[in-house]
Chains A and B, each alone.
Chain A
């Protein structure tokens, strides 16, 4: 199972995006270990730092100054993304480092992001793991929506739960906005409903869809509901210290189902692990972690569950 698959594949790689809104929830650590396990399972994997504001995943892989970054591709210093991939100590695992200049990429146009995602899809790999930055900028939301597997990482702190939910909410609204752009009649309905001055007091996706349906737009509302329903984020509660904290993802699940009409998947939890913190501060590559680490084995379990879910 852990043998490398050296044959060149025909299908586009599966894209896994790891987001979650708030900074400091461990998105990069989860991304790095998820990518490690995919590589260990024999799948050629590229870990891509899409945190265009504060890229740092290279440090988790023990690389102080990456020789090339995604910025070099965007500024056309390199023609192909393959050229900016950096090998890691782990067989089957390569890295594309993020931009080292904070906010230097500003906010690329939607079409530029689509181009970038298309380039990602041409990479010679089975899996791409995108580590998204904090926040809900259009960049983060668009990369998240473009992924085949959408993973939200949060901690059990109340602000993290709230922020993770708002992240998911903004993902759904972004999708809604993109969908309505393609349909002028829907755009008009959405515009009325989304106007905060409207007296209909429509404040949620559920109310919006009900409004569209009641306004005679059943043929519009139903496909819209279906499209939105296809956003099924998998939620991981990270750095838990007691079993009660595992319920954080359940909270997201219940609120998202009720207000956003989406079914999220509570994927499990990852315990707080001092070893990981030590490794990060000592710049030791995470892939050298003691494999008896509970956090490490939980992410293995999560990875296999996600793969089963895809099958």
Chain B
């Protein structure tokens, strides 16, 4: 039984992100018996029931999904599920109030979108939900193109997208790519604020995985803002906070502190202060490495004196990388050294602070240990989408 459950679990992420579809209601029910508490799975099941013309059952499942999303602290996803439930059966004011209270209980302001919704009153949330339109998109689908008129605000309910920003040549003619960033769950895009400005898109946005977006048109949002001035303030705050929240996203913090832990063989040439002494050549491997320095475990051949003797020495690090035909040479200083025990053996580890590196070597080292900027961005975007707790 456990084997069966695990086998089923292994495909759940594919079912939720839409890369695997289950068309049988019975098969889905069996899956939910084995995995009863995954909100994404309930949401997909509700979509299937709706497609199969079982509106009552679909509404129940959307409701179950919304409850589980709230439990998991996923506000936007809960709003999306509840909107779909209420498209089938209009809610009573009591139901609206209950849902609003449960949203407020999430209480977290981890993302700009959560802060946006949590500061609304109950009637404002309900009006906003009525204006939202949910849409699914497959992999590699263009959502908006450079030069298109900006008239939608999109919220990412699930999946990942890439936004490529371009320099503008003429009104709708793009020049060289300026930058690219990934968009994940709880991010938003669409430059529609300030409302008075008619804007043309400066970017292409394309899906990386299957994606669900909640969009609100500029005209609907303007109408909402007229009726509820607080929403206008919140929209303004949403755009202002975008940069700040982007900077503080949990994955970015992890990313900033991440050090590559791929052991890499290298050679250290240790220069001696005493002109009479020849420099030492020591083989070793990195225990971890970043662009600023490395922890290097010295090979067994290093048996010369106390490890502390190495502290302060200037070194030239030679690293051979599989992605480059040439070796990297980095100058640095040993800033600490200690005796460590690895695999039951006593060895010497040193901390090397990198000082001089050519731009080419810096790029190579970065690519080798972290991948290109696009690859890094996608890994962290997906980490936000799939792993963030």
* A250 on the B face (CB < 8 A): yes
Q: Chain A residues near B363: list those with CB within 8 A.
A: 196
Given contacts A170-B368, A254-B208, A258-B208, contact A136 B262 (CB under 8 A): yes
Give the residues in chain A near B208, CB-CB below 8 Å: 254, 258
Q: A54-B342, A243-B38 are in contact. List 18 more A-B contacts (CB 8 A).
A: A101-B300, A102-B345, A103-B265, A103-B285, A134-B263, A137-B263, A158-B258, A163-B261, A167-B262, A170-B323, A196-B360, A204-B374, A245-B387, A247-B386, A248-B387, A268-B6, A297-B3, A305-B7
Q: Does B375 contact A (CB under 8 A)?
A: yes
- Which of the candidate stretches B10-18, B166-174, B227-235 sits at the interface with the other chain? B10-18
CB-based contact A203/B261 at 8 Å: no
A203 and B367 CA atoms in complex are apart in Å by 8
Contact A258 B9 (CB under 8 A): no
Partner of B386, one of A170, A204, A250: A250
Which residues in window 231-247 of A have CB below 8 A to B? 242-247
B-facing residues in A56-102 (Cβ within 8 Å): 56, 101-102
- Decide yes or no whether A266 CB sits under 8 A from chain B: yes
B145 within 8 A of partner (CB): no
In the complex, A255 has a CB within 8 A of chain B: yes
**Given A21-B262, A191-B325, is A161 in contact with B300 using a C-beta cutoff of 8 Å?**
no
5 contacts between A and B (CB under 8 A): A133-B263, A136-B262, A136-B322, A246-B13, A250-B17
Would you give the shortest CB distance from B318 to chain A, in whole angstroms?
A: 13
- For A103, the chain B residues whose CB sits under 8 A away are 265, 283-285, 299-300
Question: Which residues does chain A contribute within 8 Å of B35, judged by CB atoms?
Answer: 243
Please encode chain B, from 351 to 382, with 1 for each CB lying within 8 Å of some chain A CB and 0 for all others. Answer: 00000000010011001111111111011101
Q: Which residues of B contact A197 (CB under 8 A)?
A: 360
Q: Are A204 and B258 in contact (CB under 8 A)?
A: no
- Contact residues in B for A104 (Cβ distance below 8 Å): 300
Counting CB contacts under 8 A, is A147 at the interface?
no
Please classify the interface of chain A as helix (H, G, I), strand (E, B), loop, or mixed, using the class held by over half of its residues. Answer: helix
CB neighbours (8 Å) of B383 from chain A are: 158, 161, 251
Our count of residue pairs bridging A and B at CB distance below 8 angstroms stands at: 173
Within the complex, the shortest CB–CB distance from A103 to chain B, in Å, comes to 5
Given contacts A102-B299, A159-B258, A258-B208, contact A135 B375 (CB under 8 A): no
Check B264 for interface membership: any CB of A closer than 8 A. Answer: yes
- Pick the contact of A135 from B254, B262, B386 — CB < 8 Å? B262
CB–CB B6/A269 < 8 A: yes
Interface residues of A in 265-304 (CB under 8 A from B): 266-269, 294, 297-298, 300-301
Residues of B close to A53: CB separation below 8 A: 263, 285
Chain A residues in the interface with B (C-beta under 8 A): 21-23, 53-56, 101-104, 106-107, 133-138, 141, 156, 158-163, 165-167, 169-170, 173-174, 177, 191, 194, 196-197, 203-204, 242-248, 250-251, 254-255, 258-259, 266-269, 294, 297-298, 300-301, 305
Asked, given contacts A165-B371, A246-B10, A251-B379, whether A56 binds B343 with beta carbons under 8 Å apart, the answer is: yes
Q: A103-B283, A103-B299, A259-B375 are in contact. Are A194 and B262 (CB under 8 A)?
A: no
CB of A39, distance to nearest CB on chain B (Å): 19
Docked complex Cα distance between A259 and B285 (Å): 28
Q: A106-B283, A141-B322, A162-B370 are in contact. Are A255 and B261 (CB under 8 A)?
A: no
Q: Is B129 an interface residue (CB 8 A)?
A: no
Could you say which residues of chain A place their CB within 8 Å of the CB of B382? 250-251, 254-255
Q: Once the chains bind, are A165 and B375 in contact (CB under 8 Å)?
A: yes
Q: Are A102 and B342 neighbours in the complex by a CB distance under 8 Å?
A: yes
Q: Which of B1-43 contact A (CB under 8 A)?
A: 2-3, 6-7, 9-10, 12-14, 17, 35, 38
Q: Are B7 and A268 in contact (CB under 8 A)?
A: yes
B residues in contact with A301, CB < 8 Å = 3, 6-7
- Chain B min CB distance to A303 (Å): 11
Alpha-carbon separation in the docked complex, A266 to B10 (Å): 8
Q: Does B272 contact A (CB under 8 A)?
A: no
B375 pairs with A169, CB closer than 8 A = yes
Q: A103-B283, A159-B261 are in contact. Are A194 and B7 (CB under 8 A)?
A: no
Report the Cα distance A268→B382, complex, angstroms.
18
The CA of A204 and the CA of B177, in the complex, are separated in Å by 16
CB of B281 within 8 Å of the partner chain: no
Q: B10 contacts A259, CB within 8 Å? A: no
Q: What B residues does A305 contact at CB under 8 A?
A: 7
Chain A residues contacting B38 (CB-CB under 8 Å) are 243
Once the chains bind, are B379 and A162 in contact (CB under 8 Å)? yes
A116 to B139 Cα, complex, angstroms: 43
B111-127 vs A: 1/0 string, CB under 8 Å?
Answer: 00000000000000000
B389 within 8 A of A: yes
CB contact under 8 A between A255 and B379, given known A136-B262, A204-B374: yes
